Amino acid sequence: MRIVVLTGAGISAESGVPTFRDADGLWEGHRVEDVATPEAFERDPRTVQRFYDERRRAVAAVRPNPAHVALAELERRLGDDLVVVTQNIDDLHEQAGSTRVVHMHGRLDTALCETCGARTPVDRDLADDAGCPACGTASLRPDVVWFGEMPYDLDRIDLELAACDRFVAIGTSGAVYPAAGFVLTAAGFGARTLELNLVESEVSLLFDEVRHGLASMLVPAWVDEILAEVG
Ligand code: APR
């Protein structure tokens, strides 16, 4: 049984990582347009760097919750038959033990050099030092996909969606494409689709089954069902 799991901010909410659209529409006090766009970075790089430096420090202080742990356990059983496509830029899936994770919106723990294209692990505030170790220019930016930029690994994601038997979306509002449309792609190739989310999402109607509740409760229960099914 091949499974694709799509995760969003809701899976990290119980670890203490703020979601994007549950609050008053602000992202930790910032309008998304003010920080998560290439134009914002062009206009005011220091503000954007500081914003991601703050998020990087905040994420360094949080730990995986039972939902992340259950998905890592499922990978130990299914191996290459499971892939987690995450919209999240935290590393909580990896901290929980998942290794087959595709960060389609990038990740906070690496930086991208705008000059030479090298990716390097981030171990400091980029607002203070954006020096690229590969080419020496001060051109490091957060390795995060901003609005208007192309998400990463879409070819690989499409192949996984075409090959999977089950597609499960966890903790995502279905507000942002292309991720919000993955359920249709998977269903079009015959996969059974399930949404695990706190409340109705913008795409709930597209799923074969929807379960509402906390990810920390729904995901371990669903993993137990799959483990029983595969034996
Ligand atoms: N358990 C399950 N679901 C939860 C929980 C929880 N504990 N807490 C919140 N949720 C749900 C919310 O109800 C909401 O539907 O998680 C969803 C989070 O939605 P968003 O905040 O929109 O986050 P996400 O779907 O990941 O956003 C997608 O938008 O801003 C961009 O690039 C950013 O990757 C992000 C993308």
pLDDT score at 38: 94
CB count within 10 Å of CB 81 equals: 18
pLDDT score at 138: 94
- The residue contributing the CA closest to ligand 1 atom 28 is 176
pLDDT in tens, 74-116: 999 999 999 999 999 999 999 999 999 999 999 999 999 999 9
Atom of ligand 1 nearest to the CA of 20: 21
pLDDT score at 27: 67
Res 152 pLDDT > 80: yes
The response to whether residue 20 sits with its C-beta less than 6 Å from ligand 1 reads yes
Res 21 pLDDT > 80: no
- The residue contributing the CA closest to ligand 1 atom 5 is 10
Confidence of residue 28 (pLDDT cuts 50, 70, 90): low
CA of 145: how far to CAs of 14, 67, 193, 208, in Å? 24, 24, 26, 30
pLDDT in tens, 200-231: 999 999 999 999 999 999 999 999 999 999 98
The response to whether residue 8 sits with its C-beta less than 6 Å from ligand 1 reads yes
44, with CB counted inside 10 A (0-12, 13-18, 19+), is middle
Phi then psi for residue 3, to 5 deg, are -125, 135
Res 29 pLDDT > 80: no
- Over residues 144-159, the mean pLDDT reads 97
The response to whether residue 107 sits with its C-beta less than 6 Å from ligand 1 reads no
pLDDT score at 19: 83
Atom of ligand 1 nearest to the CA of 87: 34
The response to whether residue 17 sits with its C-beta less than 6 Å from ligand 1 reads no
Instruction: Measure 217 CA to ligand 1 centroid, in angstroms.
Output: 16
pLDDT score at 187: 98
The response to whether residue 201 sits with its C-beta less than 6 Å from ligand 1 reads yes
Percentage of the chain exceeding pLDDT 90: 89
pLDDT in tens, 103-150: 999 999 999 999 999 999 998 999 999 999 999 999 999 999 999 999
**Contact of 84 with 168, CB cutoff 8 Å:** no
**Contact of 100 with 81, CB cutoff 8 Å:** no
- The residue contributing the CA closest to ligand 1 atom 15 is 173
The response to whether residue 210 sits with its C-beta less than 6 Å from ligand 1 reads no
Catalytic residues, by residue number, are 105
**66 or 58, greater pLDDT:** 66
Instruction: Measure 161 CA to ligand 1 centroid, in angstroms.
Output: 21
Give the separation between CA 122 and CA 140, rounded to whole angstroms.
10
Res 26 pLDDT > 80: no
pLDDT score at 23: 63
- The residue contributing the CA closest to ligand 1 atom 7 is 214
